Structure 1
Amino acid sequence: MFLVALPYAVMHGGYWTVLSLVLAAIITCYTGLILVDCLYDTNAITGERVRVRETYVSIAEEVWGKRFASRVVHTAQFIELIMTCILYLVLCGDLLYNTIRHTPLRESAWTLIACFLVLPCAFLRNLKAVSRSSFGNAIAHVIINVIILGFCFAQARHWHWKDTSLRIHIHYFPVSLGIVVFSYTSHIFLPSLEGNMVDRRYFKRMMLWTHGLAGFFKAFFGYVAYLTFGLSTQEVISDNLPTHSFRSIVNLVLVAKALLSFPLPYFAAVELLERAFFQGRPTTVLPSCYSHDGMLTVWSIPLRLLLICVSVLLAVFIPHFAILMGLIGSVTGTMLSFIWPCWFHLRLKWHELKLWNKVIDILIMLAGAGCGCIGIIYSFEALVKTYVES
């Protein structure tokens, strides 16, 4: 999802967006490592590291207290996940509208059609079915990258080298920065991921490899695609492809990819709600969504369908893919991936940290707060401007 918007981000941020893609990979790798470090305490006698916390929320509870921490972190995580679902539906509506033009249907109507295609997600009970859709998503991802990069290199002699700017456009760059940040928001999954590894010693190596490759490939893809289309780069890169038939094939693969990507954030959002409100007494006031045989209860299905309906309503009323992504990245992305991991690290490990660790944590917090505030202001301004012009 993020790849289709990265060339648009490069158009508005120039070389600074390319640089920020690499820097964001480095910073989020570091904050991911320190977040997982907060799961452990060091035994004062043996010096051995012991895992005493299990989740992002449990780390926050240690710092802020149980009641406040669970509400704040759960809310941020839920917004992050549900907005990701909304973005998939927005992307599907935009792609279908630009692919099938011989109908009177508007973009919002195609978004509603995409909603019907993801309704079966309401019946998901475990990660096995989600993993199957994620496998299909991975295949579609490879196909899309091969097609778009192949086309870009075929047009190499026409690349727009002079169009890439060294200046920062203050009204556009914060939106680009929000897109960049949102493309690296994986921190809510890291504690669970590390906890389920067979050998946790390899977690750091895994983080270095994945973030290093992600930073390189995102910068490479965004820059090459922007060089191909220059200042005419669209919010969704497939809209720039030359012929309608070629564009239609790519768009349909992207639609399939978006629909196959939807179950994972949706299922994670449902699990968050169930853990917070539907565990049964005495843990929660409301009963569990599952019966004794592990099947979903009859009344839980409408609630799950309601969550999809809320997602599609927001997708219909905010149909601006790249700007919405930038706004979300500026709000929840900076909190979950930049500010909170450093804050928790300083509070829990203050007496163990060296001076340079403390300085880095503080600088990342300040940079995240500054970029987040600027991004919120200008992303919201861009969203309002787009509505006024339309």
Structure 2
Amino acid sequence: MSAAPSSHKKSSNLQTYINLMKAFVGSGLLGMPFAFKNSGIWLGSVAMLILSVITLHCILILVASQTEIAKRKMTQHLEEEQEKHATLHDNDSDSDDVSSFKPSQKSGGSAERTKSSSKNRSHHLLNDDRANSDYESTAGTYSSSENDISDAYQHQSPSTPLPYSATSTNAVEQPYTAGQLGDMTEFSLNVPPGDTLEQSAELEKFAPNTFGEVGEYALTRIGRIIIELLLVFTQTGFCIAYLIFISNNLHHHVPALQSWMCVGITGLLLIPFALIRNIKYLTPFSIISEFTLIVGLTLVIYFDVITLQPSRILWVAKQFPLSTFPTFLGVAIYSFEGVGLVLPIHNNMKKRSSFRVVVIIAFISYLILMMLFGLLGYLAFGEDVKDIITDDLDDHPVPRIVIDICLIIALFFTYPIQLFPVPELADSYLRSVSVLNNFVVHFAVRIAMVIFTVGGAILGGDYFGIILSYIGAVGGSSLAYTLPGLIHLVLFWKKNNWFWRLKDLTLALFGLGCLALTLVVNTYHIVTTGEGAG
């Protein structure tokens, strides 16, 4: 079972909304004007709306899959407890039957029967105590093996009620002791109804915490490995994109420094932050990054507005570049970069029954922001729009410096937060096979990851938009569409009819189609023109 944070540490609805917005708003926004350049405003707008609805639906079915797994695990746990109690009760009954049929002698028969009866009563009481003790021991052992079971199970006593009634169809109404459970002739297991974990505090403890854990339950260990590899790919891809953005803007303002030198210097400065092992120490830097990102994006929108020209707007409105639409698709999928963080955010919510409403509001807010940022940037600069929108602000040198400083600071401090899950996953694997000291492994893995992202940024420095599209195609489409669809299909196969099965299969195929189409088109453009799409 998974540990659930204590209620006083969980997030309110407003905090959950903020966390979701923080998870989604990132460097993907900076590429949205470039994305609309590759789709046109009409096709891109319609596609963005459809993509948002599909992504939101996949998030909701992923959470529903988490809940279904929790219910199944809890049912299995209660069934195991039932079998243990039934076995203990049967053993006690057999022992009592054997001792009560002891042959009596003609002489002293009454005394023997009295002694046997007294002995049987003592034996029965001893067995009852032993059954209760065994129940305590069993529950305690299960708890210690899982490390996060409820205290009610860790120290179960004969007078402590179980969380669910053995006969009721809902939550417990009558308390049952371990001894009483052993005496029951019928024991029906009932998990509380509902679609959210918040309806049962006990059910919450059985919920998987991560995307990988959900994938492992539905798609076996292979599913978890695939999910974790994709998460590593996307998180390192985000970090590479951040380094490209930072280095290109530094090079713009300090031409004496080549782009590769800017990447190297930035990487060296980031190593101390990457070595931090407790994410809570990154919280102050997260606050700084969010503030500077908001300031930078607001200034970009302002200068987009004052740059708008009616003639350019009319020309842009007539464009339908179908050949480069897959590039738009990849960047748009990349912009939903927070999908991998949805389950942790959901797990930390106080009132999970409100999650559906909160995530819908957050999604609508983010969609408006993406459309506003992308469309204004494209309408302002038309076909001249660069894959990094700030490169179009050269006519406003002083404001551009302010904007670049804000965005550089924002992405610099976002880098260690986005990189954090990658070495954590690597640590868990390497510690099991490495003979090196954990301290050495910790430093080596994190430094190696920074070096890897630096190398990727140097090689891909001229392809910021295409890199966003590749990451969205491979990692984003798989994590946002293909895997949630497959997981839901497997878990709800018996419950759903053919229509809903077909819907889940279509989602999975949609993700694979986005992946294949975007990879082929982007690779073709790079090979044939030496440049990114558009």
Shift in alpha-carbon separation, 1:299–1:78, aligned structure 2, 3 A: closer
How far the C-alpha of 1:387 sits from its partner, in A, is 4.2
1:94-130 superposed Cα distances (whole Å, 9 cap, x missing partner): 11112223x1x22111111221221112321212122
How far the C-alpha of 1:34 sits from its partner, in A, is 0.6
2:252 paired with 1:98? yes
Query: Take 2:311 and 2:423, find their aligned partners in 1: how far apart are those partners?
Result: 45
2:343 paired with 1:191? yes
Residue 80 of structure 1 contacts residue 332 of structure 1 at CA under 8 Å; is this kept in 2?
yes
2:325 paired with 1:173? yes
1:286: which partner in 2? 434
- More deviation in 350-359 or 147-156? 350-359
Query: Take 2:417 and 2:436, find their aligned partners in 1: how far apart are those partners?
Result: 21
How far the C-alpha of 1:367 sits from its partner, in A, is 2.2
Query: Take 1:287 and 1:383, find their aligned partners in 2: how far apart are those partners?
Result: 43
How far the C-alpha of 1:234 sits from its partner, in A, is 0.8
2:433 aligned counterpart, secondary structure: coil
- More deviation in 130-139 or 43-52? 43-52
2:291 paired with 1:139? yes
1:86: which partner in 2? 240
1:57: which partner in 2? 212
1:262 aligned counterpart, secondary structure: helix
Matches within 5 A, 1:1-390: 1-14=27-40, 15-41=42-68, 42=71, 45-46=190-191, 48=193, 50=203, 51-66=206-221, 68-101=222-255, 103=256, 105-158=257-310, 160-164=312-316, 168-241=320-393, 242-278=395-431, 284-286=432-434, 297-319=439-461, 320-353=463-496, 356-385=499-528, 387=530
Residue 423 of structure 2 contacts residue 445 of structure 2 at CA under 8 Å; is this kept in 1?
no
Residue 16 of structure 1 contacts residue 166 of structure 1 at CA under 8 Å; is this kept in 2?
no
Query: Take 2:308 and 2:276, find their aligned partners in 1: how far apart are those partners?
Result: 45
2:83: which partner in 1? none
Shift in alpha-carbon separation, 1:84–1:62, aligned structure 2, 3 A: same
How far the C-alpha of 1:354 sits from its partner, in A, is 5.2
> Once the two structures are aligned, what percentage of the paired residues are identical?
20
Q: Higher relative CO (CA 8 A, sep ≥ 6), structure 1 or 2? A: 1
2:94: which partner in 1? none
Residue 11 of structure 1 contacts residue 226 of structure 1 at CA under 8 Å; is this kept in 2?
yes
1:286-334 superposed Cα distances (whole Å, 9 cap, x missing partner): 36975xxxxxx24522331111011101110111111011011111111
Query: Take 1:30 and 1:388, find their aligned partners in 2: how far apart are those partners?
Result: 35
- Give the AA of the match of 1:216: I
Query: Take 1:190 and 1:288, find their aligned partners in 2: how far apart are those partners?
Result: 34
1:39 aligned counterpart, secondary structure: helix
How far the C-alpha of 1:379 sits from its partner, in A, is 1.7
Residue 21 of structure 1 contacts residue 218 of structure 1 at CA under 8 Å; is this kept in 2?
no
Shift in alpha-carbon separation, 1:287–1:16, aligned structure 2, 3 A: farther
1:208-246 superposed Cα distances (whole Å, 9 cap, x missing partner): 011111112101211011111111111111111113333
How far the C-alpha of 1:166 sits from its partner, in A, is 5.7
Query: Take 1:166 and 1:358, find their aligned partners in 2: how far apart are those partners?
Result: 40
Number of equivalenced pairs: 375
How far the C-alpha of 1:158 sits from its partner, in A, is 4.5
**TM-score when scaled to structure 1?**
0.89
Shift in alpha-carbon separation, 1:127–1:288, aligned structure 2, 3 A: farther
2:61 aligned counterpart, secondary structure: helix
- Give the AA of the match of 1:19: V
Shift in alpha-carbon separation, 1:302–1:366, aligned structure 2, 3 A: closer
Query: Take 2:437 and 2:375, find their aligned partners in 1: how far apart are those partners?
Result: 46
1:197 aligned counterpart, secondary structure: coil
How far the C-alpha of 1:360 sits from its partner, in A, is 3.1
Query: Take 1:229 and 1:97, find their aligned partners in 2: how far apart are those partners?
Result: 22
- Give the AA of the match of 2:518: G
Shift in alpha-carbon separation, 1:106–1:330, aligned structure 2, 3 A: same
Query: Take 2:437 and 2:411, find their aligned partners in 1: how far apart are those partners?
Result: 27
**TM-score when scaled to structure 2?**
0.66
Query: Take 2:478 and 2:404, find their aligned partners in 1: how far apart are those partners?
Result: 32
- Give the AA of the match of 1:263: P
Query: Take 1:139 and 1:7, find their aligned partners in 2: how far apart are those partners?
Result: 22
- Give the AA of the match of 2:226: V
Residue 159 of structure 1 contacts residue 229 of structure 1 at CA under 8 Å; is this kept in 2?
no
Residue 185 of structure 1 contacts residue 336 of structure 1 at CA under 8 Å; is this kept in 2?
no
Shift in alpha-carbon separation, 1:300–1:369, aligned structure 2, 3 A: closer
2:420 aligned counterpart, secondary structure: helix
Residue 26 of structure 1 contacts residue 211 of structure 1 at CA under 8 Å; is this kept in 2?
no
- Give the AA of the match of 2:433: V
Which of structures 1 and 2 has the bigger CA Rg?
2
Residue 40 of structure 1 contacts residue 52 of structure 1 at CA under 8 Å; is this kept in 2?
yes
Query: Take 1:373 and 1:35, find their aligned partners in 2: how far apart are those partners?
Result: 23
Q: Flag structure 2 segments of 5+ consecutive residues without an equivalent.
A: 1-26, 76-188, 195-202
How far the C-alpha of 1:349 sits from its partner, in A, is 1.0
Query: Take 1:262 and 1:208, find their aligned partners in 2: how far apart are those partners?
Result: 27
1:281: which partner in 2? none
Residue 181 of structure 1 contacts residue 330 of structure 1 at CA under 8 Å; is this kept in 2?
yes
- Give the AA of the match of 1:318: G
